[in-house]
Amino acid sequence: MKLWVTAASIVLTGAVRAEVLLSEDEIQKTLSFGPWPPIVQSDPSNRVSRDSRAITLGAALFNDPVLSVDGAFSCASCHDPEQAFATSEAQALGRVLLDRNTPSLRNLAGLRWYGWGGKSDNLWAASLHPIIEEQELAHSKESLKTAISESSYVSDYETIFGSIQVQEPELVLVNTAKTISAYLETLGTERTQFDDFRDALERRDLAAAANYPAAAQRGLQLFLGRGNCVLCHNGPRFSNNEFHDAGVPYFLNETEVDEGRFGGLNFLLSSAYTLDGDWSDDPDKKGAWAVRSVRRSHSDFGTFRTPSLRGVAETAPYMHDGSLIDLDAVIRHYSKIDAERLHADGEAILSALNLSEREIADLVAFLATLSKVP
């Protein structure tokens, strides 16, 4: 009998081995990465935001080559719904090889900036530019209007927006982009193992929280602590949605550079399709404060928008130029970052972390829990 009790207590100690490693302060910081999914408001600058007819039409157009001038490809050619709305090429292949990596299109509703350089301040403008971009779908306003008019989508379009024939080509372009935007607003990443952990911590259910792997917990501790990742990758999307130099070279070749935020701001400030412009449907111009008051500075050169880390394990390769093949490579990049190569006039945040092999594995394990379980 006595033996039995001992055996049982041994099993018990084994079972409580799994524990929450985080300090109270780390728990508080962890709560700021949720709850998930976030509550998103409809987009006041887009009158067809949340309109189910617009969402259906936008989804169909997104996948249809009718949006390219010669029927050569669609949005989905680069943003493949089967591959988390991205592709596995380092740099996107349009009519030529583009300079940048294709980002996933999930969790985009309600952001302050879109694109690696933040050239758009709203989702319908970010959906509009590729339609007329010469290296992408390459329509003109006129050819787009003709293509939609002659397509099988014309009746759906007219149910939402009225007769297409009386509309200026530019209005057709903006309306089309707004249906795609309405569709993209519906794309989000699912809850993950990390969210279960975070919510268990919030409920103070430490037994449930302890199911979260120890390696991921140690990775999270590094993310919050010595790694300083949380300085830029913060909030429920793990991004502050601002622009930084993460030490990725921005030279395209010997003479050209990717201007990053610097070029993005130039584009934005001459664009007709901002929240401050006439094509916004919002009489209150909510959100226009950002384009009105954003500052330009030389240190914007070669900075890029902090990417969200939700679903990140599904979207290799990484960085604005797709130069790092997997998450292990990203962590090794931060571990060995060359502070000398960071902009002289830039911010002083990143420095080589010199992580151990175990620490690298822990950070990768943590990042993996931000994606769906394979």
CA proximity to 12, closest of 4, 21, 23, 22: 4
Report the 10 Å Cβ neighbour count for 25.
10
SS3 49: coil
94 binds, among ligand HEC, another protein, none (CB under 5 to 8 A by kind): ligand HEC
Residue 131 vs 172, nearer CB to ligand HEC: 131
What CA–CA distance (Å, rounded) separates 277 from 264?
Answer: 17
User: Which residues in 3-62 belong to E strands, given as ranges?
Assistant: none
Residue 28 vs 52, nearer CB to another protein: 28
Residue 275 vs 327, nearer CB to ligand HEC: 327
77 binds ligand HEC (CB under 6 A): yes
Provide, rounded to whole angstroms, the least separation between the CB of residue 315 and another protein: 22
293 binds, among another protein, ligand HEC, none (CB under 5 to 8 A by kind): another protein
Q: Which of 157, 320, 360, 369 binds ligand HEC (CB under 6 A)?
A: 320
CA proximity to 44, closest of 285, 289, 268, 301: 285
42 binds, among ligand HEC, another protein, none (CB under 5 to 8 A by kind): none
Tokens 């950002």: give the residue: 290
300: its two tokens: 């914007």
Q: Which residues are within 8 A (CB) of 369 and not within 5 positions of it... i.e. 6 or more apart?
A: 192, 193, 194, 197, 212, 213, 216
159 binds, among another protein, ligand HEC, none (CB under 5 to 8 A by kind): none
Site for ligand HEC in 253-292 (CB under 6 A): none
What CA–CA distance (Å, rounded) separates 65 from 79?
Answer: 13
Query: 91 phi and psi, to 5 degrees?
Result: -120, 145
CA proximity to 124, closest of 111, 134, 135, 137: 111
Helix (H) or strand (E) holding 304: strand 304-305
Report the 10 Å Cβ neighbour count for 55.
20
Q: Which of 7, 12, 231, 352 binds another protein (CB under 8 A)?
A: 231
Helix (H) or strand (E) holding 215: helix 214-224
What CA–CA distance (Å, rounded) separates 93 from 59?
Answer: 22
148 binds, among another protein, ligand HEC, none (CB under 5 to 8 A by kind): none
Instruction: Classify residue 302 by its DSSP letter.
Output: T
289 binds another protein (CB under 8 A): yes
Residue 291 vs 360, nearer CB to another protein: 291
229 binds ligand HEC (CB under 6 A): yes
235 binds another protein (CB under 8 A): yes
Site for ligand HEC in 2-61 (CB under 6 A): none
17: its two tokens: 């081995």
Q: Which stretch binds another protein (CB under 8 A): 55-63, 130-138, 344-352, 360-368?
A: 344-352
241 binds another protein (CB under 8 A): yes
SS3 80: strand
Q: Provide the residue type at 107 as one letter.
A: N
Provide, rounded to whole angstroms, the least separation between the CB of residue 77 and ligand HEC: 5
**Contact assessment for residue 48 and residue 178, using Cβ atoms and an 8 Å cutoff:** yes
Provide, rounded to whole angstroms, the least separation between the CB of residue 211 and ligand HEC: 23
Residue 240 vs 323, nearer CB to another protein: 240
What CA–CA distance (Å, rounded) separates 283 from 203?
Answer: 41
Q: Which stretch binds another protein (CB under 8 A): 193-201, 208-216, 227-235, 316-324?
A: 227-235
126 binds, among another protein, ligand HEC, none (CB under 5 to 8 A by kind): ligand HEC
What CA–CA distance (Å, rounded) separates 78 from 73?
Answer: 9
Residues at the contact surface with ligand HEC, assessed by CB under 6 A = 62, 67, 73, 75, 77-79, 92, 94, 98, 100, 102-103, 105, 108, 114-117, 126-127, 130-131, 136-137, 180, 184, 223, 227-229, 231-233, 244, 246, 248, 304, 306-307, 309, 312, 315, 318-320, 327, 330-331, 334, 349-350, 363, 367
Note the residues at the interface with another protein (CB under 8 A).
Answer: 28-29, 32, 230-232, 234-235, 240-243, 289-290, 293-295, 299, 346-349
